[in-house]
């Protein structure tokens, strides 16, 4: 299993539009990808599931992936989240 942790820095957190972009990225991989936040877990390939997490500014999240392309998925999602924190999404 591969994973990464990151703190959301955007003032509005990971709201619907960027969450949809993250879901689209996650769906490019075959790996099972989960997002954990505040004791809750959701499928990263489901916008509906992600919206149930408290993905607010300052939240620490863990992204975990398991499967053949898990390492590539975590690399891509970690890079995407860093760019999101830098205001590039």
Give me the number of domains the chain comprises.
1
In the predicted model, is pLDDT for residue 49 greater than 70? yes
Q: Could you tell me if 20 and 58 are in contact, meaning their C-beta atoms sit under 8 angstroms apart?
A: no
- List, in order, residues 6 or more apart from 38 with CB less than 8 Å away: 53, 54, 59
The domain of 42 spans 2-86
Six-digit token string for 83: 């760019």
Using one digit for the tens of pLDDT, what is the confidence trace for 69-82? 999 999 999 999 99
pTM of the model: 0.92
**12 flagged as catalytic:** no
Domain containing residue 42: CATH number: 3.30.1340.10
In the set 12, 15, 78, 89, the catalytic residue is: 15
| pLDDT, averaged across the chain | 95
Q: Rounded CA gap, 4 and 64, in Å?
A: 7
Confidence of residue 89 (pLDDT cuts 50, 70, 90): low
């Amino acid at each position: 299993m591969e994973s990464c942790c990151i703190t959301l820095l955007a003032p509005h957190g990971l709201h619907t539009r960027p969450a949809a972009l993250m879901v689209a990225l996650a769906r490019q991989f075959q790996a099972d990808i989960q997002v954990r936040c505040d004791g809750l877990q959701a499928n990263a390939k489901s916008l509906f599931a992600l919206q149930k997490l408290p993905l607010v500014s300052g939240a620490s999240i863990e992204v975990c992936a398991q499967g053949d392309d898990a390492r590539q998925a975590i690399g891509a999602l970690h890079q995407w989240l860093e760019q999101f924190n830098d205001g590039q999404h």
